[in-house]
Amino acid sequence: MSDEQLFGTSITEIIKKRLSVRTYLAQPLLPETKDKLRELFSILNRPFGRNVRFNLIESDLALKKSEFSKAIEQRDHEILPCITPIGYPSNKKSLIDSAMRFVAGSKSRKSWNELFFRRHLV
């Protein structure tokens, strides 16, 4: 597994510290953060040898599929396999956030070693 640096932290450490966020601050991303994300998107390996296009869409509202397609100027031959929110987590969690974390069992996640392993050739 590559241990490239992203935002000054190894990708492995970012994955280990992962958590779901559903409540964000009403604050736009800093321009430097947007630039860093665009830079990362431009150098990512393309899965299955296919071209991938990334867009950052700023919206306070949930978008319907047709509205989202317009916002990213989706072309006829493109599919839309992944959407994720990006923002600054709020210190105050919503009731829905707390309930989802409880139902999902977020406090009892499997350890890193149970999820992944490395094979060392002798």
Per-residue pLDDT reduced to its tens digit, 20-75 = 787 889 899 999 999 988 888 887 777 677 777 888 888 777 778 888 888 888 88
Clarify whether residues 94 and 79 are in a common domain: no
- Phi, psi for 79 (deg, rounded to 5): -110, 165
- 111: containing domain: 1-27+90-122
Can you tell me the mean pLDDT for 108-117? Answer: 73
Based on the fold, state whether residues 112 and 99 are members of the same structural domain.
Answer: yes
- Tell me, what's the pLDDT at 35? 92
Same domain? For 41 and 20 the reply is: no
How many structural domains does the chain have? 2
Residues 42, 82: one domain?
yes
Longest dimension (CA), the chain: 54
Kind and range of the H or E run holding 10: strand 9-10
Give 118's pLDDT tier (boundaries 50, 70, 90).
Answer: low
* Residue 13 exposure: Cα atoms within 13 Å on the Cβ side: 8
51 and 5 in a single domain? The answer is no
- In angstroms, the CA 114 to CA 14 distance is 17
